[in-house]
Homo-oligomer: A and B are copies of this chain.
């Protein structure tokens, strides 16, 4: 395997879906949010992305079964809007810039194939500010203003590192719109409370798009 391989399992019919990514990162907020979303929406796996930039090991299950680390794409038609959800086991190493750009590019290619033009990324935001549940940033002024509330602050003058930021930035270059929802978290331990806040916010956001 020299190039990433997208293994397509099925071709669901989706109507103008929203693309939602919850990847590994601070407090595992993105990952747990994605898991909550997949479970609550009874989402189905329809594509897997393998890549030579992912770690060179296999993951062994409780039964002794091996499998490669991967990015997994799920879809659901059970919410107010059809959705594609991206989840993953792990990401390329932090210093593999090219790998991150490539994986995010392939994910957005798949999203665009399904006529998706709106991207939501979910992650954690390590901050001592506990007056907010989540912080948001977006590709358009209008989106930030529309979704900022007392509990959801605007993330100003900073950076969103990794795929959570990159997916949004790359989407913007392609002319797509998008928003990032970052759950306030205090550390690197799995933060289920922060993930639930993000999950709740995204569920409501889908209704309003």
Residue numbers of A with Cβ under 8 A of B are 1-2, 5, 7, 50-68, 92-93, 95-98, 100-102, 104-105, 136-141, 144, 148, 154-163, 165-166, 168-170, 172-173, 180
Contact = CB atoms under 8 A, between A and B. Distances in A.
Chain multiplicity (copies): 4
B52 A101 contact: yes
Contacts of A67: 169, 172
Contact of A62 (B65, B148, B156): B156
A60 B161 contact: no
Contact of A68 (B61, B157, B169): B169
Contact of A101 (B2, B161, B170): B2
Given A56-B97, A60-B159, A137 B1 contact: no
Contact of A168 (B66, B155, B159, B160): B66
Nearest to A143: B64
Nearest to A52: B101
Contact of A59 (B56, B65, B159): B159
Contacts of A54: 97
Contacts of A64: 136-138, 141, 144, 148, 154-156
